[in-house]
Amino acid sequence: MDGSDKLPLFVIGKSAKPRCFRGVKSLPTEYESNKKAWMTGEMFSRWLVRLDKKMQRNGRKIAMIVDNCPAHPTLKGLKVIELIFLPPNTTSQTQPMDQDVINNLKSHYKRLVIMKQLHTADKNTDVLITVLDAMYLMQQSWRKVTRKTIANCFRHAKFVPSSNGDSTENEDDDDEPDDDLPLARLAELGIRDIQRFIHADLDIPTCTLMTDDDILEDVLLERNPDAENDDEMNDKMVGGSEQNIKEPSVTEAFEACNTLRVYFQTKAHSEFVLDQIGFVHNELVKDYFKNRCAKQAVITDFFKK
C-alpha cells in the first residue's frame, strides 16, 4: 500500500497462440487466454496459487484486497496470502485500484499509443499494435505508475497505517513533464477530448458468470489447443504482422546495445539508463559464453581439416 512493491501485470487475451508470439520464448507479462478475454475464477485461482508459492519462497505474508465479483472466488489452502473481500457494491469507494491507479495506468498506456501513432504518421506508415506490442506498452505504463500515486489511492480508500495516520496530503500525480503531448499534435489524430479517449473502454465487461457453453468451449480448447483457428482474425483486429520474429545474432545484439549507449551518452541526466544498458550488456556477455559452452565438442573437432 506504500507503492514499494508492484506485482507484474497479468494479461488476458482472446488467442492462446497469437501469431506475434511465434518465435517468442519470453513474454513481458504473464499471459492467459479465453474466447472473451475475461478474467475467470479458474484463472484467478491459478494466479493466486502461483503468487502464494512465490511469496512463501520469499518468506512473506500478505493481505490482498479483492473485489466481490464472480471472477474472484474464495480459495482455500493458501499458505501466506489472506484474501480480504470488499463489501458488494462498494468498489468505487473502497477499492484502492479504482481510486486512480487504474486510471493512471490507462493514461500512461494511451499516451504511449498516441506516441506510436504520431511516430507512424511521421513515417507515413500504418499503425500496427499486436498483442505483444500491447503487452510491452502495458509493462512500460505500469513502471510509470509511481509509488506516490499508489500510496495516495490507498489513503483515499481509507487504508492508512496506524503509525502514520497524518500522512501528507500531496495528491498531485507524478506525470513527467516531457510525457505531455502538444494538443495540436493530438488534433492531427482526431483526439480532441483526451478524457474520453482514455476512458473509451470503461464500459467493456472484463468478467461475469460464464455460461455452460463458455465453460464447455474453454475445456475443449484446453484439451485440444491446436483446434483454435481464429488467431489470424484476432491478429488482424489488432494489426498483427505476417512475419515471425527472427532471432538476432549475438553480434547484432551487441551492436544495438552499443548504439543505445552512444545515444544516451549524448543526453543529459541519463545515468540511470546507462546503468541499465550496462546490465543488458552483462546479460549478453553471459548468454554469449553460455551458448559457447553449450556446444559439445566432437572428436572431429580435434583434427585439422
- In whole angstroms, how far apart are CA 176 and each of 14, 106, 181? 33, 15, 11
Short-list 286, 284, 214, 216, CA closest to 253: 284
**Taking residues 177-195, what's their average pLDDT?**
69
Alpha helix segments (H runs only) across the chain = 41-57, 91-94, 96, 102-123, 131-144, 147-156, 183-188, 194-198, 212-223, 231-237, 250-265, 271-294
Is residue 285 one of the residues assigned to a domain? yes
**Taking residues 10-25, what's their average pLDDT?**
91
**Taking residues 26-38, what's their average pLDDT?**
91
**Taking residues 123-137, what's their average pLDDT?**
90
Asked if residues 44 and 67 have their Cβ atoms less than 8 Å apart, the reply is: no
Is residue 176 one of the residues assigned to a domain? no
Cell of residue 12, nine digits? 488476458
Is residue 182 one of the residues assigned to a domain? no
Is residue 194 one of the residues assigned to a domain? no
Which pTM was predicted? 0.74
Is residue 278 one of the residues assigned to a domain? yes
> Strands 62-66, 81-85: parallel, antiparallel or unpaired by DSSP?
parallel
* Residue in this structure with the C-alpha cell 485500484, named with its chain if needed: 97
Describe the crossing of helices 131-144 and 102-123 by its angle, rounded to 10 degrees: 130
Is residue 267 one of the residues assigned to a domain? yes
Residue 67 pLDDT: 85
**Taking residues 154-162, what's their average pLDDT?**
84
Cα separation, 142 vs 153, in Å, equals 15
Is residue 268 one of the residues assigned to a domain? yes
Q: What is the pLDDT of residues 34-92, one digit of tens each?
A: 888 999 999 999 999 999 999 999 999 999 988 888 888 988 899 999 999 988 877 67
Is residue 296 one of the residues assigned to a domain? yes
Give the chain's mean pLDDT: 81
Enclosing domain of residue 290: 250-302
Q: Which helix (H) or strand (E) holds 33?
A: strand 30-33
User: Which of 233 and 219 is assigned the larger pLDDT?
Assistant: 219
* Total domain count, the chain: 1
Q: What is the pLDDT of residues 197-230, one digit of tens each?
A: 887 887 787 777 667 777 677 667 666 655 554 4
